[in-house]
Amino acid sequence: MPDPDPSARLRVAVLDDYLDLAMDLAPWSSLHADVTAFREPIRDPELLIQTLLPFDIVCAMRERTPLPATVLERLPNLRLLVTSGMQNAAIDIDAARAAGIVVSGTGSSAAATAELTWALILCAARHVPAHDRSMRDGGWQRYLGTALAGRRLGVIGLGKNGSAVATIGRAFGMDVVAWSQNLTAERAAEVGIGRVAFGELIATSDVITIHLRLSDRTHGLIGASELGRMRPTAILVNTSRGPIVDEVALIRALRSGSIGGAALDVYDDEPLPVDHPLRSLERVVLSPHTGYVTDENMRRFYAQTVEDIAAFLAGTPIRVL
* Nearest residue to 54 (alpha-carbon basis) of 109, 7, 111: 7
Strands across the sheet containing 261-264:
194-195, 175-179, 152-156, 207-210, 235-238, 261-264, 284-286
Q: Please give the Cα distance from 269 to 182 (Å, whole number).
A: 29
Handedness of CA 34, 308, 53, 41 (dihedral sign): negative
Q: Please give the Cα distance from 321 to 319 (Å, whole number).
A: 6
The reply to whether 241 belongs to the active site is: yes
Q: Please give the Cα distance from 153 to 206 (Å, whole number).
A: 6
Catalytic site residue from 62, 127, 151, 289: 289
Measured distance between the N- and C-terminal CA atoms of the chain, rounded to whole angstroms: 37
Catalytic site residue from 115, 131, 270, 276: 270
Handedness of CA 71, 77, 80, 84 (dihedral sign): negative
Catalytic site residue from 64, 152, 241, 300: 241
Q: What residues act catalytically?
A: 241, 270, 289
